[in-house]
Structure formats: structure tokens, C-alpha cells
Amino acid sequence: MPALFVGHGSPMNAIEDNAFRRGWQAAARSLPRPDAILCISAHWETSGVRVTSSERPETIHDFFGFPDALFAVRYPAPGSPELAAEVLKLIPEEDERAAPDPERGLDHGAWSVLSAMYPEADVPVAQLSLNAGRPAAWHGALGRRLAPLRNRGILVLGSGNVVHNLAAIDFRRKDGYDWAIRFDAEIARRILGDDLDGLFRYPELGPDANVAVPTPEHYLPMLYAAAVRDPGEPVDFFNQAVVMGSISMRSFLMGS
């Protein structure tokens, strides 16, 4: 099974007919049908690691100030306690706080994308949290441990944004600031070069990195998709755009 990273951007992409949503739909059409999906979203940070284990995860509307139509969206995909248990077995034993979470639902980093990709909501979904206390290299190493899931027909889906700076957004702007475009292009170069270590060391890009990734939670899901790649596997970029100055929508498919 290929792996996927999506730049999810605004929650409105869940209900608007735009190029980004159509890009997610096209990606789904190009994939074999997954047996289940493991989503790593920017919008679930925890102390330690958690995996959703509910059989019927709720749709979480973790935002405010948007139209009622967005709050009305429900994505009733089944959960997968079996996948949650399998993922927990792959997490390093030294992380003693790894645990299932039977109460957590699907946040908009997951359902906004999946509602476009699999609108019938008939593919089981589990979410893996981001351990907020760990550095980028640790997340990449955990991502690598998830690679065997691909052999079981599991779609590993990272959902975030390579560049994500809400404080710098200009809603009137259709393109990106120079620093955002430079950073996005450099990360793409490192992905194509299978340079995982370079992706972990993104702060070395200096001032561009400081403003492109002021906090890491939207960047980290990308590392999971990159880490499950086998050497030499193809990478297909899509939705290659920086919008509103400071949000990269770049997405990619690994091993298609």
C-alpha cells in the first residue's frame, strides 16, 4: 500500500469544491482500496502516545468561527480496535505511556481529508497521536516502525502542512511569501532525495524554518509518511501551492 501525506489547510476544504479537495479525491482513486487507515494528524498532541480504539469514533469539530455547514459535517467511519492494538505493538517498549484511547474521535485533520477521499465512510480509521515531548527524529523513527503496516493493506496517512504559520496569514493573498516558498521547495528536495536525516534537521534552514515551522505539530505528520518509504520508491507531489502567504498545501504519495 502506498503512503500519503496531505497538506490539509483550512477546515473549509472539507466542504468547498476546490483544487485541493479534488487533488485528495484523485489521490484516493489512484490507490488500491485500503483495508484500514492509520492517520497521524497535526491536531492531536498528547503526553506519551495514544491510538484511538473506539469502534465508532465521533467526528470532532475542533475549530471555531466557521459556517454552520462545516459543524454539521459528520464522518461516521468505523474505528479499528484491531489496528490500534497492532500499532501499539510497534511502538518502542521504552515508551511506557503508549496506550489505546477508547474515547477519542477523529479530528478535522483526519475527517476533512477522508470525507473527500472516501465519502462513503466505509474504511476503518484509527488515529495515532503526536507525542508532544519528542523531537523530530523520534517521530521519524516511530514512523519507520509503522512501515510493516503497508504490507497489510494499511494506508499510513499524515495530515498537516509543511509550512504553517497562522500568525503570518494574509487571507487576501493567493500565493506564498518568499520564505514560505523557499522552505517548501527545500523540504520537497529533501523528500525526493530520501534525505530523512535532512528532514529531521529542518531547523538548520535558519530564518526560513523559524517562520515556516514556528511550532512543529503540522510538520511532524509529514515525517511519518516519509519514513515509511522504501529506498528508491517513487514520490508523486500534488497540490503544490503555498496559499495565504504562509500555508503550504503540498501533498505527496509514496510508492504509487
* Contact assessment for residue 118 and residue 110, using Cβ atoms and an 8 Å cutoff: no
Tens digit of pLDDT for each residue in 158-203? Answer: 999 999 999 999 999 999 999 999 999 999 999 999 999 999 999 9
147: cell is 512501515
Average pLDDT along the chain, 256 residues, taken 10 residues at a time: 97 96 97 98 96 98 95 98 96 78 98 98 98 94 96 98 97 95 98 95 95 98 96 95 98 89
Tens digit of pLDDT for each residue in 104-114? Answer: 999 999 999 99
* Contact assessment for residue 159 and residue 252, using Cβ atoms and an 8 Å cutoff: no
Burial class (CB in 10 A: 0-12, 13-18, 19+), 134: middle
d(CA 151, CA 52) in angstroms, rounded, equals 21
Helix and strand numbers, DSSP H then E, in the chain: 9, 10
CATH code for the domain of 108: 3.40.830.10
How many domains in the chain?
1
The one-letter amino acid code at 155 reads L
Please, which residues have CB within 8 angstroms of residue 48's CB and are 6 or more apart in sequence? 95, 96, 97, 98, 99, 131
Domain extent for 115: 3-254
User: pLDDT at position 96, please?
Assistant: 64
44: three-class secondary structure by DSSP: strand
The residues with which 242 forms a beta bridge, in sequence order, are 248
User: pLDDT at position 231, please?
Assistant: 87
pTM of the full structure: 0.96
Long-range contacts at 32-36 (CB < 8 A, ≥ 24 apart): 32/1, 32/2, 32/153, 33/123, 34/1, 34/123, 34/153, 34/154, 34/155, 35/123, 35/124, 35/152, 35/153, 35/154, 36/80, 36/83, 36/123, 36/124, 36/125, 36/126, 36/153, 36/154, 36/155
What is the per-residue burial (b if ≥16 Cβ within 10 Å, else e) of 213-243?
beebbbbbbbbbbbbbbeeeeebeebbebbb
User: pLDDT at position 246, please?
Assistant: 98
* Contact assessment for residue 138 and residue 216, using Cβ atoms and an 8 Å cutoff: no
How, if at all, do strands 247-248 and 242-243 pair? antiparallel
